[in-house]
Amino acid sequence: MPKTKIAGIGHHVPENIYTNDDLTKYMETSNEWIVERTGIHERRFITKGEDTTTSLGAKAAKMACENAGIEVDEIDFIIFATLSPDYYFPGCGVLLQRELGITKTEIGALDIRNQCTGFVYGLSVADQFIQSGMYKNILLVGAEVHSVALDFSTRGRNVSVLFGDGAGAVVLQPTTEENQGVINTELHSDGTYAEELSVISPGSHSGVYNREVNYGFDEESDLGGFFITQTILDEGLFHPHMNGPLVFKKAVVKFPEVIVSALKKAGYESNDLDLLIPHQANLRISQFVQKVLKLRDDQVFNNIQRYGNTTAASIPIAMSEALIEGKLKRGDLVCLAAFGAGFTWASALFRF
Ligand SMILES: CC(C)(COP(=O)(O)OP(=O)(O)OC[C@H]1O[C@@H](n2cnc3c(N)ncnc32)[C@H](O)[C@@H]1OP(=O)(O)O)[C@@H](O)C(=O)NCCC(=O)NCCS
């Protein structure tokens, strides 16, 4: 059975840099607060009317194909991970196919909605397709445009200072090389805390979950009319909601757990790792994980300082930068790990 190799990597981030000081023009916050709690100094935001999640993804995808030495027409399956799609439906997968000018229809396009773990979940799905021999060139993209939907008033500051826009992509191919390819992937979920990091309205829930959640549901309406209510608009319920301390508490447990588990299954220890690329949620989380696993600075790659949390895009952007900076080399033992909304958490261990 073939294994899955990462044949090419690419990324694209918008040109517009917003520093922490820039955000103080919109909300009550400070550079000191943001740096101290998150490690973030700046992030990139798209120019309104120019870019979309799909167009950022397309630029990253072209770079990944070039890096893999293939034409975009050779792609036989697209996996697109995002929580900020261009449209409610159809998903970004088909939009990316169109944007890349792939006109052949002997191709599938799958959208993944797993937020911060979307890229690792996508890699696991792609790995099964490659191992089974179904596809030979899978394009896996993680891309986000958060800036259009964040609440940049003081009300939304605990969330909006964290996130940025960007995209990353990889091309996955079969390999029979002994010292190359995906070793294992591990996926986890716990729906107990689904609303603790979420955008729940508008949605089809009609308020049925009846928890301590403000859905903005208009009880006067019966048929229709309760999808987008005035309350949702007035109270900004369409913006992301996050219980930051809870997310932090869970993340610092699940990150090390899923990394140690991946290494152990393959007979490795953290000392054997050449590079850990954690989802860029918060520099403090990554530093905590590094300490728990007793990893050296050169074993962990972080770039959240410059991009903020780009959700599904954060890992492939980091992979691409690590490759460019010479920190990710062929033959390296690499672990990707992510934790986020759901909650979901996941890891992927591979030889690059
Ligand atoms: C978001 C996060 C940085 C907040 O840090 P925290 O220490 O937990 O802060 P809290 O939410 O408890 O808020 C502490 C205070 O800071 C204030 N605050 C929140 N955001 C602020 C901001 N951007 N600027 C200034 N003050 C802010 C709060 O209002 C609160 O004030 P109060 O004590 O007067 O009520 C932190 O919880 C975190 O990183 N969580 C994980 C988030 C994450 O990784 N999300 C993505 C998952 S993939």
Q: For residue 65, indicate whether it is catalytic.
A: no
pLDDT at 232: 87
Q: What's the gap in Å between 172 CA and the centre of ligand 1?
A: 37
**pLDDT of amino acid 202:** 87
Residues 228 and 246 in one domain: no
Cβ atoms 34, 305 nearer than 8 A:
no
Instruction: Name which residue sits closest to atom 25 of ligand 1, judged by CA.
Output: 29
Same domain as 138, residue 84: yes
> Same structural domain for residues 224 and 189?
no
What is residue 219's predicted lDDT score, i.e. its pLDDT? Answer: 60
Residues 146 and 15 in one domain: yes
pLDDT at position 210 is 61
CA of 33 to the centre of ligand 1 (A): 9
Which helix (H) or strand (E) segment holds residue 167: the answer is: strand 166-175
Q: Which numbered atom of ligand 1 lies nearest the CA of 115? A: 48
Ligand 1 mean position, distance from CA 218 (Å): 30
Q: State the pLDDT at residue 246.
A: 97
User: What residue ranges line ligand 1, CB within 6 angstroms?
Assistant: 29, 33-34, 37-38, 116, 157-158, 161-162, 242, 244-245, 247-248, 251, 281-282, 285, 309, 340
The closest residue, in CA terms, to atom 48 on ligand 1 is 340
Check residue 211 and give its pLDDT. Answer: 62
- Per the structure, how many domains does the chain have? 3
> 343: cis peptide before it, omega within 30°?
yes
Q: Which is catalytic among the residues 114, 279, 303, 335?
A: 279
92 and 111 fall within a common domain: yes
Listed as ranges, residues in the chain with pLDDT below 50 are none
Do 143 and 271 share a domain, yes or no? no
Spot the catalytic one: 116, 146, 239, 241: 116
Find the domain containing 280 and state its range: 181-193+242-351
- What φ, ψ does residue 197 adopt, rounded to 5°? -145, 100
> Are both 44 and 105 inside the same structural domain?
yes
Q: How far apart are CA 241 and CA 86, in angstroms?
A: 20
Residue 250 contacts residue 193 (beta carbons within 8 Å): yes
Same domain assignment for residues 102 and 115: yes
Does 141 lie in the same domain as 27?
yes
CB 55 within 8 A of CB 80: no
- From the candidates 137, 302, 309, 335, give the one annotated as an active-site residue: 309
> Would you state the pLDDT for residue 215?
74
- Same domain for 79 and 59? yes
* Neighbouring residues of 27: CB distance < 8 A, sequence distance ≥ 6: 152, 153, 154, 156, 157, 160, 161
Same domain, 69 and 189: no
CATH of the domain at 342: 3.40.47.10
Q: Are residues 73 and 128 in the same domain?
A: yes
**By the 8 A CB rule, do 147 and 41 touch?**
no
**pLDDT given for residue 223 in this prediction:** 60
Q: Is 41 considered catalytic here? A: no
Q: What is the pLDDT of residues 8-43, one digit of tens each?
A: 999 999 999 999 999 999 999 999 999 999 999 999
Return contacts of 36-39, CB within 8 angstroms, 24+ apart.
Answer: 37/282, 37/284, 38/161, 38/162, 38/282, 38/283, 38/284, 38/304, 39/282, 39/283, 39/284, 39/286, 39/287, 39/302, 39/304, 39/305
Question: Which atom of ligand 1 sits closest to the CA of residue 340?
Answer: 48
List the residue whose alpha carbon is closest to atom 4 of ligand 1: 244
